Chains A and B, each alone.
Chain A
Amino acid sequence: MYDQGKQRLLLQGNEAIVQGALAAGCRFFAGYPITPASEIAEQLSVELPAVGGTFIQMEDEIAGMGAIIGASLAGVKSMTATSGPGFSLIQENLGFACVAEVPCVIVNVMRGGPSTGLPTCPAQGDVQMARWGTHGDHPIVVLSVSTVMDSFTITVKAFNIAEKYRVPVILLSDEIVAHTRECVELPDIGEVKVMDRIRPSVPPDWYKPYEGDARGVPPMASFGDGYRHHVTGLIHDEMGFPTQNPREVESFHKRLARKITRGFPDVQMTRGYFLDDAEIFVIAYGAVARSALRAVQDAREIGIKVGLMQLITLFPFPRRTITPLLKQCRSVLVPEMNLGQISREVQRVNEGFCTVVKHNRVDGKFITPREIYSHLIKI
């Protein structure tokens, strides 16, 4: 039973993302409605103005992404929410956010694709696109949610990571999680850990807008508060001006990558179940992690030593957590609602330690616990 002290709410995943964004301090949303993400825009159009924030419905997702970059540069935490077709459109400006190190959160509620695909059906087909959708080597963080409560807490974390590392964060939900209603007890605003970007502490004349601190993250001044600086999509030097100096270009790229690929546990989030004595294990994320948890518990009951590694962070791929398990177990099952987008990451880091078994479903239907169970009794 629930803790009796707190108010319980019956919320959809999408509604919990809205509450998470507001709790994290998001005060600007721009975007364009699309199934199955529309509830996020719909609710923020009411809630943001009520807390002094801004909601704009733009002409399309390209403009929506542009607007949230502008808002963030002006010092306001910002987000957009979309689904597959809109996610394709945001990619151009997303690259700008990556290169100009603009913190922002992009929610992609995955539906069947490609193109208009299956608007009302669940899928996980945008995983590799979330990592590599915009061109060029670029740093990005991709998170996934599997429950309504996750949709709240991981949204808060998405904003925190964006702010702390000055990086766009992609939050992947899917049609199942987005439209499932569950009871949640949301924490009071004071209990939510919120992080804000570091602002420059030097006088404006000394400010180097793209000089990383010890972590590689430059302090960020807002437009209008006196720190005059240049923002460009071209590769730039520490002052923000375009450069082709090979030394500067290389150190720029390496600093961007270094910020988020050093295996910080706050960036690389996972959740383990029954792994201590596991001989086989499942790697799952999003709604499928719920089917997997049920299947793993059922298989445990007939004596199969199986565990579950649920990925919250998909990219940077949480290799440090996965590798010991690949060494410990004889097989790993990777169920996904796509043709194998995380299983290829698992195969990449596996290096022959154990057998990687895929289970894929692309018919617009949710993977059931029984499908996973029937693999577990065989592998």
Chain B
Amino acid sequence: MSAEQKDQERYEIRLSGSGGQGLITAAVVFAEAVGVYDGKYVCQTQSYGPEARGGKSKAEVVISSIPIDYPKALELDLLLAMNQAACDAYFYDIKPNGLLVVDSGLVEQHPTSRIIAIPFTRIAKEEIGRELVANMVALGAIGLLSGRVDLGNLERALLARVPKGTEEMNSQALQCGIEEARKVNLDDLPRAVMSDDDEV
């Protein structure tokens, strides 16, 4: 198998923001949906500082139809940035045709016009009534936009992971995210995140 084919087997997602935003939880749910329910190979990793809240936090999901050697992301197919610092820090890790998804309320300066900006936190607050579930709104959106997970399985994995009594709230948040992402037309975006020759 050529290097190119092997790369096509791999799909890499990074969820980034600050500690306490629930990004690791979202990544675990994604990984469980893809690995346990969809039956693909998956590696979920994370890195965070010694703080319980605040500080940088990132979680990654690598998906493949063949066994995964290197467990972390090499070149991102999709970056979710839930704050400006994360967007600035990880933007350069995205593949030329990768996707940048940001929380439009928290990331105001966009490094590229190939960007999908959705107000995850505002949606969580206004539609669900809890800012806490912004991670699940975002999870729904990247679930759809990545095209790499069965959305029914994503919900199944979510319901199995969240605390008892919060299932409905979390699943509503997920659906909100999916609906919001459906409004995005990927064909309208510029072809590359960093492009010098696109005519203005």
- A residues apposed to B, CB below 8 Å: 1-2, 4, 8-10, 35, 119-121, 176, 179-183, 287, 290-291, 293-294, 297-298, 301, 366, 368-370
Contacts and interface: CB of A to CB of B under 8 A. Distances in A.
B45 A369 contact: no
Given A8-B35, A120-B49, A287-B71, A298 B3 contact: yes
Nearest to B37: A8
B70 A179 contact: no
A369 B70 contact: yes
Nearest to A147: B71
Shortest Cβ-Cβ A-B pairs, 4 listed: A183-B35, A181-B44, A294-B69, A294-B70
Given A301-B2, A301-B3, A10 B71 contact: no
Interface size class of B (residues with CB under 8 A): 20 to 34
Interface in B11-60: 28, 31-32, 35-36, 39-50
B45 A176 contact: yes
Given A1-B40, A182-B35, 4 more contacts: A2-B39, A181-B43, A290-B70, A368-B70
B42 A182 contact: yes
Contacts of B189: none
> What DSSP secondary structure best describes chain A's contact surface?
mixed
Contact of B42 (A120, A183, A370): A183
Contacts of B44: 10, 180-182
B45 A1 contact: no
Contacts of B40: 1
A180 B24 CA distance: 11
B169 interface: no
13 contacts: A10-B36, A35-B50, A120-B48, A120-B50, A180-B45, A180-B71, A182-B41, A182-B44, A287-B71, A290-B70, A291-B70, A368-B74, A369-B69
B50 A1 contact: no
A272 to B, nearest CB: 15
Nearest to B29: A10
A165 to B, nearest CB: 32
Interface string B131-163: 000000000000000000000000000000000
A119 B48 CA distance: 10
A287 B43 CA distance: 13
Contacts of B32: 10
B95 interface: no
Nearest to A302: B3
Nearest to B42: A183
Contacts of A366: 72
Interface in B57-82: 65, 68-72, 74
Interface string B87-98: 000000000000
Contact of B35 (A10, A176, A287, A294): A10
Contacts of A176: 45, 71-72
A158 B3 CA distance: 37
A294 B68 CA distance: 9
Contacts of A294: 69-70
A342 B146 CA distance: 41
Nearest to A183: B35
Of listed A9, A181, A291, A366, residue having the most chain B CB within 10 A: A181
Contacts of A120: 47-50
A348 B36 CA distance: 45
Contacts of B71: 176, 180, 182, 287, 290
